[in-house]
C-alpha cells in the first residue's frame, strides 16, 4: 500500500510538472503569435495612409482634404521609419493651403514612397517571421524533450525503486524463515556481532515439547501451524527492538536487548504460561526453555544456553533453566 501511495505521488508530481511546462510553453507561443500579428500590422497602417491620402486628393473641399491628411498622419505615427512619409504629408498640407496640389502626381509620389518603405518593412517582417517561427519550433521541441525527459525520469525512478525494493526483499528473504516469518541463524550471527558489549543482553532458547509426535500423529501441516502459532506468541511477548530467530526444527532463540536476567525471567515465564494455555486447534502444547544473561554472544554462550535447554527437557520438560 505504501508503495502504491509513493507511485501515485510520483506520477501526480510528474503530471503537475508537465502541465506547468505545457502552460508555460503555451504562454510563450502566445507571446510569439502576438509578435507575429504586431509585425504584420505596420503594412496595414501603410495601406491606411495611402487610402486616406487618396481620399484627400479626390475631394475638392480643402478642410476635408486637410482632415483626411491628418488621419493619414495618425496612421503614419504608428509606423516605424515614418519620417519620409511625414515630410511628404507636411508638404502636402502647405500645397493644399496654397491651392498647389496635384492629385495625380502627388498620389504617385506617395505611392512610390510607401512602396519603398513597405518593401523594406516587408523584408524585415519576413525575416522576423521566419525567426519567430523557428523560435516557436525550438520552444515546441524543447518543451517536448523536457516533457519526455520528465516521463522517462519518472519511469526510471519507479524501475530503480522497484529494483531496490526487490533487492531488499530478496536480501530480507535470505535472512528470514519463510514459514514463521522470523529471522534465521544467519541473521542471528549478524545481529550478535553488532551488539554493544558494554550492555547486558538476555538470550532465551526454547524447544517445543514432543514436536515429533505432533508431526507423526497429525501431519506436517499441523506441525507447521503449531510453529507459526508459537512464533506469534513469542512475537507478542517481546518488544519491537528485540529479536526472534528460528534456530532449527522446533527450536527458537529470543534476543532481549539491554535486558538483564531478572527482566528476561519475566518474559520467559510469560512465554511459558502463554504457550501452555494456548489452544492450538484442539491441541495443548508446552515448551522447554534455557535462559542466560551475557554481554558478548559467542559459541560458548550458545553451548551454555543449549545445555540449559537440555536440562529443562531432561528434568521433565515445560520448565525454565538458567544457564
pLDDT value of position 216: 92
The H helix count followed by the E strand count for the chain is 9, 7
Sole residue written with cell 520438560: 317
Asked whether the beta carbons of 204 and 287 are under 8 A apart, the reply is no
| Alpha carbons 92 and 121: distance in angstroms, whole number | 24
Among residues 250, 273, 276, 293, the one annotated as catalytic is 250
14-24 residue pLDDT tens:
766 767 766 67
Please give the full DSSP string across 6-26, using - where no structure is assigned: HHHHHHHHHHHHHHHHHHHHH
Whether residue 100 lies in the annotated active site = no
Compute the mean pLDDT over every residue in the chain, rounded to the nearest whole number. Answer: 84
| Alpha carbons 34 and 230: distance in angstroms, whole number | 77
33 pLDDT tier (thresholds 50, 70, 90): low
CA distances from 322 to 141, 269, 292, 305 (A): 76, 12, 6, 8
281-322 residue pLDDT tens:
999 999 999 999 999 999 999 999 999 999 999 999 999 999
158-196 residue pLDDT tens:
777 777 776 766 666 678 888 999 999 989 999 998 888
Averaged over 246-261, what is the pLDDT?
94
pLDDT value of position 7: 65
- Return the CATH superfamily for domain 182-322: Reverse transcriptase/Diguanylate cyclase domain (3.30.70.270)
Least-confidence region, from 48-52, 68-72, 259-263: 48-52
- Helical residues (DSSP H) of 78-102, grouped into ranges: 83-97
Domain ranges of the chain: 2-166, 182-322
Tell me the backbone φ, ψ of residue 265, rounded to 5 degrees. -65, -35
109-164 residue pLDDT tens:
888 887 777 667 666 665 666 666 676 677 777 777 777 777 777 777 777 777 77
Element holding 122 (H helix, E strand): helix 103-174
225 pLDDT tier (thresholds 50, 70, 90): very high
pLDDT value of position 256: 96
Judged by DSSP in three states, 155 sits in helix
Amino acid at each position: 500500500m505504501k508503495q502504491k501511495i509513493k507511485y501515485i505521488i510520483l506520477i501526480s508530481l510528474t503530471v503537475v510538472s508537465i502541465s506547468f511546462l505545457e502552460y508555460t510553453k503555451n504562454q510563450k507561443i502566445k507571446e510569439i503569435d502576438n509578435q507575429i500579428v504586431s509585425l504584420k500590422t505596420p503594412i496595414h497602417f501603410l495601406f491606411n495612409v495611402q487610402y486616406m491620402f487618396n481620399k484627400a486628393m479626390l475631394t475638392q473641399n480643402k478642410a476635408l482634404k486637410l482632415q483626411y491628411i491628418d488621419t493619414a498622419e495618425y496612421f503614419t505615427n504608428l509606423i516605424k521609419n515614418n519620417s519620409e512619409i511625414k515630410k511628404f504629408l507636411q508638404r502636402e498640407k502647405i500645397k493644399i493651403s496654397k491651392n498647389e496640389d496635384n492629385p495625380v502626381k502627388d498620389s504617385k509620389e506617395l505611392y512610390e514612397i510607401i512602396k519603398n518603405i513597405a518593401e523594406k518593412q516587408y523584408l524585415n517582417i519576413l525575416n522576423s517571421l521566419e525567426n519567430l517561427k523557428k523560435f516557436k519550433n525550438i520552444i515546441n521541441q524543447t518543451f517536448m524533450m523536457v516533457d519526455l525527459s520528465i516521463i522517462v525520469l519518472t519511469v526510471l525512478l519507479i524501475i530503480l525503486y522497484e529494483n531496490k525494493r526487490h533487492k531488499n526483499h530478496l536480501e530480507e528473504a535470505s535472512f528470514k524463515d519463510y514459514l514463521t516469518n522470523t529471522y534465521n541463524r544467519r541473521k542471528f550471527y549478524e545481529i550478535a556481532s553488532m551488539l554493544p558489549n558494554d550492555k547486558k543482553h538476555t538470550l532465551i532458547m526454547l524447544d517445543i515439547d514432543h514436536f515429533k509426535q505432533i508431526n507423526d500423529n497429525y501431519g506436517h501441516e499441523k506441525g507447521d501451524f503449531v510453529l507459526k502459532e508459537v512464533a506469534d506468541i513469542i512475537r507478542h511477548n517481546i518488544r519491537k527492538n528485540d529479536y526472534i530467530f528460528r534456530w532449527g526444527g522446533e527450536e527458537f532463540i529470543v534476543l532481549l536487548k539491554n535486558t538483564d536476567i531478572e527482566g528476561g525471567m519475566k518474559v520467559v515465564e510469560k512465554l511459558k504460561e502463554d504457550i501452555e494455555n494456548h489452544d492450538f486447534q484442539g491441541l495443548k502444547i508446552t515448551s522447554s526453555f534455557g535462559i542466560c544473561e551475557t554481554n558478548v554472544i559467542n559459541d560458548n554462550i550458545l553451548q551454555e544456553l543449549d545445555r540449559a535447554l537440555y536440562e529443562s527437557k531432561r528434568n521433565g520438560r515445560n520448565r525454565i533453566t538458567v544457564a
